[in-house]
């Protein structure tokens, strides 16, 4: 904007980010989907401080260490983990295996997804294998 001689305040840019971030994410996520190319995921969550408040960062990486998806949540429970898996499966398809840490919420979310797949009759062709690890990634 400065190159074009337009003076823009930082608060204006912040409002633009808030207004257009969802639209940009939707546009770019359609363009750069990675359907079916990654069958093994590593998923974990960690907590961090955001504006003085504890939040949880969920993330999934592929076998090459590239980030597939991430999500920030106020809670660390089955519902938040299920929301994360719904988001990532919607963009990248169903994995064969998911390596998770010893968090019970992640395992419960994956078990719920597997039960749903079983009820749809997809379980025999594609169930998600859950692998738990103690070691950090």
Q: Which domains does the chain have, with CATH numbers?
A: 39-132 (3.30.420.10)
pLDDT tens column, 54-91: 899 999 988 878 888 889 998 888 999 999 998 888 88
Q: What is the DSSP string of the chain?
A: -TTTT----HHHHHHHHHHHHHHHHHHHHHHT--TTS--EEEEEEEEEEETTEEEEEEEEE-TTS-EEEEEEES--SHHHHHHHHHHHHHHH---SEEEE-S-HHHHHHHHHHHHHHHHHT-TTT-PPEEEE-SS--
Q: What is the pLDDT of residue 106?
A: 85
Q: Which tokens is 64 given?
A: 């090459």
Residues of the chain with pLDDT under 70: 29-38, 122-126, 134-137
State residue 125's pLDDT score: 61
């Amino acid at each position: 904007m400065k190159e074009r001689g337009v003076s823009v305040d930082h608060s204006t840019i912040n409002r633009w980010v808030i207004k257009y971030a969802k639209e940009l994410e939707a546009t770019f996520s359609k363009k750069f989907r990675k359907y079916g190319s990654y069958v093994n995921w590593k998923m974990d969550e960690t907590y961090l401080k955001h504006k003085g408040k504890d939040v949880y960062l969920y993330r999934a990486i592929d076998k090459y260490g590239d980030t597939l998806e991430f999500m920030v949540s106020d809670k660390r429970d089955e519902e938040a983990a299920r929301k994360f898996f719904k988001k990532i499966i919607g963009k990248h398809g169903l994995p064969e295996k998911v390596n998770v840490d010893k968090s019970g919420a992640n395992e419960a979310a994956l078990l719920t997804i597997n039960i749903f797949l079983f009820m749809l009759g997809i379980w025999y062709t594609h169930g998600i294998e859950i692998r738990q690890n103690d070691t950090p990634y």
